[in-house]
Amino acid sequence: MEVLTFPAVLENLPRFVESVRAGAESFGLNRKKVQRLELALEEALVNVASYAYPQGTGSVEVRFECRNESDFVVEIIDQGAPFDILARTDPDTTQDIDERKIGGLGILLIKEVLDHVDYRREAGKNILTFTLAKEGM
């Protein structure tokens, strides 16, 4: 398992994404899934950078590994206030330009592009788990 820890600021985004992408590619995840993973990673990291530490900054930990030779699993861990992103209501994607609100899209994208996503709260941490299977599109 690879573990990376950085201050949760936007400037670190490319570094995180690059490291996880390299891991996913060596695992053999197909190109489409790697692209989707990058997107979900950005959305999750931007959420942590924007909301997890209202009092200042904190760190975010990203762990990734291959499980059972069939799944690429990424965990994004922060020590911010409890925040279950999966419990949020999705934005209404049928609204027209005047009605559409600016927020909420990041979480929707995370939920839609991964094979599986999980949230748990443990020991004062938010743990978001992404799973992508080697098989399938």
Positions that interact with other proteins (CB under 8 A):
10-11, 13-14, 32, 35-36, 38-39, 42-43, 46, 92-98, 100, 102-103, 105-106, 108-109, 112-113
Taking the C-alpha atoms of residue 68 and residue 52, their distance in angstroms, rounded to an integer, is 32
Q: How far is the CB of 122 from other proteins (least distance, A)?
A: 27
**Whose Cβ is closer to other proteins: residue 102's or residue 123's?**
102
95: Cβ–Cβ under 8 A, 6 or more apart, which residues?
none
**Whose Cβ is closer to other proteins: residue 1's or residue 10's?**
10
DSSP 78-115: E-SS---GGGSPPP-TT--TTT--SSSHHHHHHHHHSS
Q: How far is the CB of 45 from other proteins (least distance, A)?
A: 8
Q: How far is the CB of 101 from other proteins (least distance, A)?
A: 9
